Structures are given as structure tokens and as C-alpha cells.
Amino acid sequence: MTGVTMDCPDVLRKYDRYFVGLLGEPNSYVWSPGLNDIPLNLMPYLGNGFIATQPRSPWIFLDGFFNGNGTESHRACIPSTVQWMLTGPLKVDEQGIQDDSHPQTLWMHHGMGVFLQHITSPEWDVYMTTFVSRRRPDLLVRCIEARFSQPQSTPILFQPDSAVNLDSPDCEIIVEPHDGHLSITGHTHVVESNEFQNGVSTFYMYTDVTPQELSKGFYLSVNSPLRFFLTTVSRTSMDNAISSYEAAQLVSLQDPEHLFHEQAAAWRELWEDGYLCFHGSQGEDASSTRLSRILHTAQYSLLTCFPSVSQPGFMHQPSCEFYGLCPTGLARGNEEDDYMGHVFWDMELWMLPWINLFHPQLCRLSLDYRYAMLPLARYRAVSEGFEGARFPWESAFTGLETTPWDLAAQNQIHVVGAVSFAIGQWLTTHSPCKGNSLSTYSDTAAFPVSSSAHSPDDPVEWYRYRGRILLEDIARFWSSRVQYSSTKEAYEIVDVMPPDEYTHCCRNSAYTNTIASLSLAAPAVFARYYGDPVPEEYLDWENKAKSLWMPRDTVNKVMLEHEDYVLGTCVKQADTILLTYPLMYNQPEAWKRNMVDLYAKVTDPNGPAMTWSIFCICALELKEFDRSMDYFERSIEHVHGPFLGWTEVRDGSGAANFLTGAGGFLQSIVNGFAGVRISLIPHPRSKPTCPDSVHTVAALFLTPSVPTRFAQVVSIIRLQHLHFQQRTLTIHIDLTEQNVTLVLTQGLPLSVGRLSRDKHWVFDAFRLDKDIPLQLQFQPLCIIGTDLLDDIPTIAVD
């Protein structure tokens, strides 16, 4: 059930002005489920990347706050002060205090991150709103407001439906009264690593939610219709928590709506950075409304995991301000089904692609997490007899391997390549190349990995101080991990687990070898991109990249999952198909088609949610429209509950609010139906001073694909404020008229190339200048900076 259509209460509707004209129709981002009995794991997220929770959850989770040693490390539970809902009200008559049942509805505003419980009667309405402040990262707000229809109405007594429990299975909790408030300090029981963590982690909470007083209930009346409950959480000190609380309390007393307007404005600013939306083909019918809500909820849920304002790190991990993306986000993570809050390859391959295009600075925060974990990655590589850095399959607070599955810990090394791949995508998308030679910069070794002094917003500076170091260490690891086979006369990688986890150990996984090849080549690729010299070590890595053996079946004209794979063997999830997208491995179209044909038939229908999004994208690239829609519809079978959360398995089991699946879905829209690809392409004169003969520029490719079945539900796809090369673009794709309108909303002009019959990109006709729309019929398009053309009107297709 998606939810029901009804009038949105005024307490939410009055903030429409922040979002109307921005996010599409209001019922695509604010609705009521029409029922109240919703499983906790399918409740929406309330979060700001620093703290997060769910309505009715007994826990708040704090970014980077983990308990448990090694493979038992998991997000530590902080007791929630707002897990209760309202009951009542209670009425008093000659028989005493009686329950007086009234209808209630729940609402969620996915535009501004506010959850509402609405209780009604003929005489009054009561609204309880809850949100995690985006403007004040350490603040959790609950506001209860009564509106009376009669001026002489008697006071109403409300009570919570459950007691507030300040215990935690993960922390030693110390509660101290403080002027009618509570100071709550929590120390985790166990460090993640005795060797690499100097002491347990601590949170500091300050709140006016006192369990004993709350259990008595509270009155709302005509003269006193409003009650705020505020809670602040800090990683650094109780003084910090108290200071934040007092600032928020002062604001709420001066203007009760101020915190709400702050929340709406902060979320609007975040949406203005970039987002996707649909317009329905038949107006706002049930199918298009549901799909629009799925699209919006996927984006909202991901954004709840990212901070807009960085907070100080923990005492024992000061260099890390953000701890990455877990498959189930920040609002969950204490249980095995929630992957215990750990970071996997899911972050780089599944969730960051959408973030990279629409929220580049948030994407960089995720890459900064990998940089902060680099010391442990280096330590592990050396301890295992390799060079460079080996990132763990699962990572949490220290960067130590935290997966409880030893086979994955030992063999699932493709996560190392995923880190390099994400860095390359971010640099290609956002870092300008012309005139930015780094060869004269000082030695980056002068800036130790533990330093937090250099995390600049400028992509060139980030590459200089962090990106290049990561790319080098990852390439160095792969160079030491590959081994030469005299029989194959090529390098190979043995004893690995591919993405298909039904294969525990194999030789020459096609996916692993491909992403390792990209990682080995990356340092040389980006040295050329920035006009830098290419050291001999880079060239050696690049030669190994070109010489990695690949498991091809030349009879069936398809890439095998691994060297010993037998066609027809069941596969857990998207694996070899990832060569076509996102890795864009160079292979004949017939081989890509056979890959879709053969692997879709043997992929477990009960595998994880993101799988079918990749098959959808690959089928769209091949213009297999009916099949692409079959795969698209399979993917959204994983959407459950009235708040449209993703589950890992289509029957609703496994991880819930599975953001890996949401990220795959968003890629099916951007990289599937919109046909967006970003890559480096050769250009003969872009760097005349480059010491190497290969010069490249960043290009954005756009090839919309429109299955009839999709166009029957969606008439317009809008990519609002896609970020590319220090510019922002709005891309309006009209599926009915089959045209695309491009608007440059910020930055220097862009040139739009069309594909000629002789397979050249021709840039002699169309230029994008700021705020001047350019409309073109559907066709392959290539977009690059006008300043990079150097008067060359054509570029050959690679």
C-alpha cells in the first residue's frame, strides 16, 4: 500500500512555499500511509548525517559511534527520548479518568524530514511533529500542538504510549539531573581495536525529556497549547550539548515556528543542490504518484545519511568527521540484518553514483572517510605481504576488517577497486583539467595521512592532497597482488570472491580483474589529465592493467564470471553484467547482449535489490526496451510498506530501508532512462604542454531511452542541477515529444556534440550558454567544456 490521498494538515502544508516549484507535486513527497500499524524497519528515516533515528525506534544512532571488538563492532545504541507516541487523550467524568479514543493518522514530509502524528476530535486537533534538525546537527526536536475549536475548551491530558528507557546494551549510561533537565553520558563497553583505538567512545546528551515526569502525562489547553521536547547529542563534551540545547530552546521560546522554518530552509538548500523528479503521463494517477514517491523517498533516505555541517570527530579519531554510508543508512545499524552500520563496496558502487552527480561535496565526504581509514588499509596490506593499501570488506570506526564472515574478509578484495573507481568518477565529473598541472606542487608526502588540515572543496586541491595518494596506494596494492602466468602470458588474480557470493573462491573473476585494471591504470590516467609527468612506476602499473587476463568464452561470445564458471550456474546478484555498466568495459555489442541474455536467466530472483537495476540499464543501452522494463519492474518489487522503503530481498526480508537498492534504482533513472555516462575521452590538443602523448578531457554523454511502457506512466524526467565540471545543468527529458531540453544554470559555456555517420563527435552547431535553453530531439549527445575544444570541431569516438 502506498498511502492514501487526503488533505495535508496545515502544520505541514504551511511550509509548501519552500518546496512548491522545486520538488514537483506535494503529494509526491508528503503523504499519510492511511494506517498506523507499520513495522519499525519500514518506518521512514529522520536524520542529518550526524544523528538519526526512526519514529518508534528505541534508539538514536550517532555517526561513528560503535561498540564491539573486531567483527562484533556495530553501531552503538543511544537511548531515544522520542520513541513514544501520544495516547489519549484522557477524560474525567463521574466514573474517574477514562480513555477517550479518537482517530489518528500519521504523515511523513519527505521534503523537509518531518514526521507527524495527528489526533482529531470535534473539539480539537493535536499535532505531534518530530524531526532531526538539518540546520543544527546535534538537535532532535519534538513539538506537540493543540488547536481548539472552542475558546472555553477544557484542558486535555496526554500521555506517552510507552515509557522512556535510558538504558543501552552498548553503553555504560550515567544520568544526572540538571535544573529540571537530564545530562546523559554514555561510554561504549568495548573498543573496536585494542591496538588501533586508544579508548572507548563517548556521547553526551542533554534533554528536557525526563522519564518520571513524562510518565505522568501533560496538559494542553487554550492558554498553553504548545509543548516542545528538545534533545541534543555531542561527540565532544557535555558543555557542547548544553550550549546547543540552550540556543535551540531560546529560539523555540521566542518564535515557536523558527526551528521548523530553519528545517524547511535547510532541506530546500539541500534539494537545490540537485535532485530527480518525474511528471506523470496521465496526470497524477496512482501509478505515476507511486513511482514519483519511490523516486523522492530514495533520494531523501540517502540524504538523511549526510551532514550539511561537519562536526568535530571523536577524541580517538579526530581526523574523521564522517564515517561513510552503511547499506541501511545512519538510522539503523545495531543488528546483523542492518550490516551493523558497516561500510561496504555498496557505498562506492551503488549509492555514490547519484550523490556524485547531484551532491558532489557530499560525495567527497565519503571519499574522505576512505582517506581517514588509509593507515589501517596500509597496515593490512603490509601485514599480508603486499604493498600499498588494502581496504577491508567491511569497515567501521578504525578501518579494521569488521566482517564476521571470514571468507569475505579474506577473498572479497574487489572493494579496493571500488574505492579507486569512485575517486576516478568524482575527479572526472568535477575536476577541471586545463591549466592545472600539479608537477610544480610540493611533495604530498609532507602531508601525513592523519592530518585533517587538507580536505578542500576544490577538486584539484583534493586530488593534490588526498586523491592522488589513494589512487597510488590502491594501484600499488593491485600491482603486488597480481601474479604473472607464463601459461597465459598475462597477469592474473587468484583466490578471490566476486560480487556473486555463491562463489566463495575463484580464479580471475571478470569483475575483479576489470576493476583492478582500472585501478592500476588510474594514476597514469589522472597524471595525464592534469598535465603531470607520468612516473615509471605509473607506466609499470598501466602495463599490468593492459595485461590482465580475462575469462572469455569465445564460442558463446560472452565474458565468463570467472575462469572456471560453467554457463547456467546460479548467480547471487549482478556481477559480470557490471562490466557493461558501470565499468564500461570495451566489448562488442553482441557480447553485451549475450551477457544480458545469459546472466539474467541464472541470477537468483531472491537476490539483493540493486541487481535488476543494472540489468535494466544494460538492456536500455542495447535498446531492449521490453526486457528493460521487466527488469525495472523486478527492481521495484523490493519496495515495501506505505513509506516505500527498500528491502534487500523482494519478500521483505533481509536488510530494510536498504539504501543499496535505492541507489541502484536511482542509477536506473539517471544512467538508464536518461542515458547519462561521464568519462574521459582523447583530445589531440587539449594539453599541448603535457609530457605524455595521450591527452584527455571530461565528457558527459546523454542518450535517453524511452520504453513505451515507461512513457505510459512517466511523461517527463527532470535532472535538476546535475553537476559537471564546475557547472550545473538542468536536463528536461520529454518522453512524449521525445526531446531533451538542456539549460546551463551555472558556470562557463558548454559545447554539445552530435554523433556523425563516420563516428565522430561534431561540435560545430550547438553551444550552451547560461540560462539559454537548448532543445534537441532524442539522439546521442556529447557535452564538454567549450574552453577545451581549442577550435577542434570534431573528436573521434573511442
| 519 pLDDT more than 90 | yes
DSSP H or E stretch at residue 619: helix 611-621
Looking at the fold, whether 486 and 565 belong to one and the same domain comes out as no
Q: Tens digit of pLDDT for each residue in 636-658? A: 999 999 999 999 999 999 999 99
Which value, to the nearest 10 degrees, does the dihedral of the CA atoms of residues 498, 500, 506, 509 take? -50
> Among 161, 96, 155, which residue's Cα sits nearest to residue 126?
155
- Average the pLDDT over each of 236-240, 425-429, 681-685 and give the range with the smallest value: 681-685
Task: Write down the pLDDT at residue 100.
Answer: 63
Which amino acid, 517?
A: S
**For 321-361, what is each residue's pLDDT tens digit?**
899 999 999 999 999 999 999 999 999 999 999 999 999 99
Grid cell at residue 263: 528545517
* % of residues, the chain, pLDDT over 70: 91
% of the chain with per-residue pLDDT over 90: 81
Helix (H/G/I), strand (E/B), else coil: 165: coil
Phi/psi-derived region of residue 223, left when phi > 0, alpha when psi is between -120 and 50, beta in every other case = alpha
H or E stretch including 671?
A: none
Q: What pLDDT, on the 0 to 100 scale, is given for residue 448?
A: 46
**Could you give the 3-state DSSP secondary structure of residue 676?**
strand
CA torsion sign for 591, 594, 599, 602 is: negative
The string of DSSP codes covering 781-794 is EEEEEGGGSTT--E
pLDDT at 418 over 60: yes
Same domain, 439 and 524: yes
Q: In this predicted structure, what is the pLDDT of residue 440?
A: 40
Structure confidence by residue, pLDDT tens digits, 696-738: 899 999 999 989 999 999 999 999 999 999 999 999 999 999 9
Looking up cell 527532470 gives: 718
* Domain final position from 273, 307, 339: 273
DSSP for 313-371?
-BTTBTT-S-----TT-SS--SSGGGGGG-B-HIIIIIIHHHHHHH-HHHHHHHHHHHH
Largest CA distance in the chain: 95
CATH number of the structural domain spanning residue 779 = 2.60.200
Query: Mean pLDDT throughout 553-564?
Result: 98
Give yes or no: residues 583 and 712 share one domain: no
Domain contains 219: yes
Domain ranges, residue 476: 319-550
Give Cα 364 distance to the centre of its chain.
12
156 lies in the same domain as 247: yes
* CA angle, residues 170, 173, 177, in degrees to nearest 5: 155
- Flag whether 526 is in a domain: yes
pLDDT for the residue numbered 112: 98
Residue 459 lies in a domain: yes
Give bridge partners of residue 679 from the DSSP assignment: 699
**Amino acid, res. 270:** L
* Total number of residues shown for the chain: 798
Contact between 67 and 171 (Cβ < 8 Å): yes
Mean pLDDT, to the nearest integer, of 160-177? 96
Angle between helices 286-303 and 659-667 (to 10 degrees): 120
If asked whether residues 658 and 711 sit together in one domain, one would say no
pLDDT of residue 543: 98
Of 34-48, 105-119, 702-716, which range is least confident? 34-48
* Segment holding 72, helix H or strand E: none
Are 84 and 157 members of one domain? yes
Which residues are 697's β-sheet partners? 681
User: Would you say residue 289 lies in a domain?
Assistant: no
Grade residue 434 by pLDDT with cuts at 50, 70 and 90. low
Residue 441: per-residue pLDDT: 40
In single-letter form, the type of residue at position 419 comes to V
Whether residues 517 and 652 share a domain: the answer is no
Q: What backbone torsions phi and psi does residue 355 show, to the nearest 5 degrees?
A: -60, -40
The packing angle between helices 468-481 and 536-546, to 10°, is 50
pLDDT at 437: 46
In a domain, 389, yes or no: yes
Domain assignment of residue 280, yes or no:
no
Angle CA 416–422–427, to nearest 5:
130
Three-class SS of 514-571: HHHHHHHHHHHHHHHHCCCCCCHHHHHHHHHHHCECCCEECCCCEECCCCCCCCCCCE
pLDDT for res 450: 46
| Residue 683 binned pLDDT confidence (cut-offs 50, 70, 90) | confident
Which region among 21-25, 648-652, 690-694, 728-732 has the lowest average model confidence (pLDDT)? 690-694
Is 256 a member of any domain?
yes
pLDDT at 530: 92
Q: Out of 496, 516, 550, pick the residue that ends a domain.
A: 550
Q: Indicate whether 258 and 336 sit together in one domain.
A: no
Question: What does pLDDT average to over the chain?
Answer: 92
Do residues 458 and 323 share a domain?
yes
More confident residue, 724 or 213: 724
Note the pLDDT tens digit of each residue in 762-775.
888 899 999 999 99
Read off the C-alpha cell for 300.
Answer: 531523501
| Spatial distance between the Cα atoms of 714 and 276, rounded to a whole number of angstroms | 13
Instruction: Report the alpha-carbon distance of residue 42 to residue 38 in Å, rounded.
Output: 7
Q: What CATH number does the domain containing 406 carry?
A: 1.50.10.10
| Distance between CA atoms of residues 390 and 560, nearest Å | 26
- Single out the residue of 285, 261, 263 nearest to residue 110, CA to CA: 263
Q: Select from 643, 662, 681 the last residue of a domain.
A: 662
* 186 and 58 share one domain: yes
**What count of Cα atoms within 13 Å lies in the side-chain half-sphere of residue 93?**
6
For 267, the grid coordinates are 532541506
**Confidence tier at 797 by pLDDT (50, 70, 90):** low
Bridge partners (DSSP) of residue 716 are: 279, 734
Are 362 and 306 a contacting pair, CB within 8 Å?
yes
**Count: domains in the chain:** 4
pLDDT recorded at residue 295: 98
pLDDT value for 547: 98
Cis peptide before 582 (omega within 30 of 0): yes
Q: By the 8 A CB rule, do 150 and 221 touch?
A: no
Residue pair 533/691 in contact by the 8 Å Cβ criterion: yes
Residue 480 has pLDDT above 70, yes or no: yes
Grid look-up 582517506 returns 371
Is 196 inside any structural domain? yes
Q: What single DSSP character describes residue 23?
A: S
Tens of pLDDT, residues 749-761 = 999 999 988 888 8
In a shared domain, residues 157 and 42: yes
Identify the pLDDT of residue 445.
40
Same domain, 653 and 725: no
Whole-structure pTM value: 0.95
